Amino acid sequence: MKRIEEELRIIRQQMEAEFLLHSERMSAQQQSLERVENALGRVEEALGHVSQEFRDYAHTTRSYHVTWTTERQRNLRLMDVIQTGLLTGGLETDSRLERIERRLARLEENQSGAA
């Protein structure tokens, strides 16, 4: 009987030790999960900032493109009016028109290269 009681006591101690070890493991896992959740929260926040910055950049780029396109169209209309006035006044030659067109083409290439 003493032997059985001793074996039961040993088994009980082993179970308690295993339970404590299991509890420590569960606590460590819980802490790890909390750290991962915190890190994910920080990543989500950073992604939100990056996403907002990208949206701002895209909006600015679109606005710049619209502004540049509008200004280009206005300048082209103005050049057409000036050229028409000069042509009808007999002051413009074909070679000058070709130089103006080449210059406009270079300006457009420079603008498209900058965008």
Count of Cβ atoms closer than 10 Å to residue 85 Cβ: 11
pLDDT band at 66 (very low <50, low <70, confident <90, very high): confident
The pLDDT tens digits of the residues spanning 86-104 come to: 776 655 567 777 888 888 8
CA distance 40 to 45: 8
How many alpha carbons fall within 13 Å on the CB side of residue 111?
13
* Percent of the chain at pLDDT exceeding 70: 91
pLDDT band at 64 (very low <50, low <70, confident <90, very high): confident
Q: What is the DSSP letter of 93?
A: -
SS3 (DSSP) at 21: helix
Domain count, the chain: 1
Domain that holds residue 6: 2-114
pTM: 0.46
- Answer for the pair 92, 86: CB distance below 8 angstroms, yes or no: yes
